[in-house]
Each structure stands twice: as structure tokens, then as C-alpha cells.
Amino acid sequence: MKPVEVTDANFDTEVLKSDKPVLVDFWAVWCGPCKMIAPAVEEIDVDNNQQVSMKFGIRSIPTLLIFKSGRVVDQLVGAVPKRTLVEKITKHLN
């Protein structure tokens, strides 16, 4: 599946109303740990889309939220190994 840039304007449609699990990466260009995990995930930029970040209480980046049926079902905070990302995502695909 091709990554989609999610913004404040399309968050409800792309994430909350999705019929598939969705991984959202809250990141910023100035964040070192964000750059470390960037090759493993595609993301939205918290500097440009602050409404969604505030709505979900994002206080540290990178923060990855996994949504399923419009609800947050899991999260990862900080730079985590690719193996951890794959395990968390795979857990929610069924």
C-alpha cells in the first residue's frame, strides 16, 4: 500500500474512517530520532498539522499511532528498531 500524506484537513477521511488499520507517524524535520525511523515509515508533519497532534496529545516525537476502526489501538514513542515496527503493525492486521 502506498503511503499517504495525512494532514489536519484529511485526517478523518484517511485515518478515522479507514476500513484498514492505519499507522500514523507524527514527526518533524528537526527531530533526529524521527530521521532514524524515517526509512521504515512514511509520516505526517506535526509542525504543519498541529490540530491532529493536539487532538491525540502528541508530546514527544516521533510518535507512531496505529488506528483501527477509527480508534487508536497501539502506539510507539521514540526511535524503535524496524523489527519492533513490523511486530506492532503485524499484530493489528488481523
Q: Based on the residue annotation, tell me whether 79 is a catalytic residue of this protein.
A: no
Q: Based on the residue annotation, tell me whether 31 is a catalytic residue of this protein.
A: yes
**What are the phi and psi torsion angles at 73 (to 5°)?**
-110, -10
C-alpha dist (Å) from residue 59 to 15, 33, 53, 56, 91: 20, 14, 8, 9, 25
Length of the chain: 94
Rg (C-alpha) for the chain, rounded Å, is 12
Residue of 34, 37, 44, 64 with catalytic role? 34
Residue of 22, 31, 64, 85 with catalytic role? 31
The residues carrying an active-site annotation are 31, 34
